[in-house]
Amino acid sequence: MIALQTDTMTENLKNILTQTLNTSLTGQVLVDVMRLDLLHPVVSGNKWFKLKDYLAEAIQQQKSILATFGGAYSNHIVASAFAAREAGMRSIGYIRGEPGKQVSDTLLTARSFGMEIRYLDRVSFRNPEKVIQENKHPAIYWVREGGYGITGANGAATILQHASLLQYTDIVCAVGTGTMLAGLIKSALPHQRLTGILVVNNANSIREEINRLLTPEETLKPYSLIPDYTFGGYAKHTKSLLENMCDLWFAEHIPSDFVYTGKLFFAVKDLVSKGYFTKKSRVLVIHSGGLQGNGSLPENTLPF
Ligand SMILES: *Cc1c(COP(=O)(O)O)cnc(C)c1O
């Protein structure tokens, strides 16, 4: 842990703040947003929390290369490239698919942080165990796609240390692999209900993957996964989603992305209007960052 104490990101934790939403959006329900997007312009949000304990372990094991997996627009890939560099390590990103004609912004950014990019065809990508076996090297520390794993969940569990936790009845976040939600389940207080807004279409397998990161007692904690706001699936988007993101920006000056937090904030607004929360609810929404993903939208789609 010591090696990471003085790095930029630890310093940047001071940037995190909690913002109360205007009641014109939320009616009588009090909604606070934890702004993890303010952590860092590129490596914002939950990805750094999920990575930090992996890096500490890698350093402890004297590994010099961090290798991980992701898509061409993955927040996790950029965050891994940056975090590895911060920790004085090299990094390798195994990327799903073929090298495109145009390299994505995400991969260019990752490369600018020194990441070596290697492409995997879709079949190989689905079998990371095999890739790990074939590329085994004593200097390499491997991290799963999205930072999935107990170490990642334990890192995400420290997110809630940045809020005055006791006052909240509800905690809501976006769910990709579910690693962040697993961490929040671990660290939430017994009276708190957790709600995960799925941004991918496979609710059942995600629930299993989340439970795999929890102890038997933790799986009994009250948490729900809501599958109604995927907008068609991972990284799919509609006009109304983008409009809602613009509205949020103009009303609250909160930027969001179309893959994760745009769907999260759409869901929160809709759930408020449907009475999912009560007048006595105090809701903490985790803005998990990830704004770099908007780089793949056509220019001028969003006002931020
Ligand atoms: C990766 C990501 C998530 C999903 O986190 P999981 O731990 O994979 O569920 C949510 N929000 C943002 C902005 C992300 O980049």
> What is the band of 27 on the pLDDT scale with cuts at 50, 70, 90?
confident
Q: Give Cβ neighbours of residue 141 (< 8 Å, ≥ 6 apart).
A: 54, 57, 58, 61, 63, 65, 66, 67, 89
Average pLDDT, the chain: 94
User: What's the predicted TM-score (pTM) here?
Assistant: 0.95
- Cβ–ligand 1 contact at 49 (below 6 Å): no
- Cβ–ligand 1 contact at 175 (below 6 Å): yes
pLDDT digits over 59-95, tens only? 999 999 999 999 999 999 999 999 999 899 999 999 9
For residue 95, give both structure tokens: 């990327």
pLDDT exceeds 60 at position 3: no
Closest CA to 43 of 67, 6, 11, 2: 11
CA of 47 to the centre of ligand 1 (A): 7
Query: What pLDDT score was predicted for residue 5?
Result: 47
pLDDT digits over 207-230, tens only? 999 999 999 999 999 899 999 999
**Is residue 298 classed exposed, middle or buried when 0-12, 13-18 and 19+ CB atoms within 10 A define those classes?**
exposed
Distance CA 267, CA 244 (A): 10
> Are 258 and 245 a contacting pair, CB within 8 Å?
yes
Query: What pLDDT score was predicted for residue 253?
Result: 96
Query: What pLDDT score was predicted for residue 1?
Result: 39
Closest ligand 1 atom number to CA of residue 182: 7
Query: What pLDDT score was predicted for residue 133?
Result: 97
For residue 150, give both structure tokens: 């107990």
Distance CA 206, CA 179 (A): 10
CA of 130 to the centre of ligand 1 (A): 25
**What percentage of the chain exceeds 90 in pLDDT?**
85
- Residue whose Cα lies nearest atom 15 of ligand 1: it is 290
Query: What pLDDT score was predicted for residue 41?
Result: 81
Better pLDDT: 5 or 185: 185
> Are 66 and 89 a contacting pair, CB within 8 Å?
yes
Query: What pLDDT score was predicted for residue 25?
Result: 72
Neighbours of 85 (CB within 10 A): 17
- Cβ–ligand 1 contact at 290 (below 6 Å): yes
CA of 179 to the centre of ligand 1 (A): 8
> What is the band of 99 on the pLDDT scale with cuts at 50, 70, 90?
confident
CA of 136 to the centre of ligand 1 (A): 27
Closest CA to 282 of 30, 19, 22: 30
Distance CA 110, CA 113 (A): 5
Distance CA 296, CA 104 (A): 7
Closest ligand 1 atom number to CA of residue 291: 13
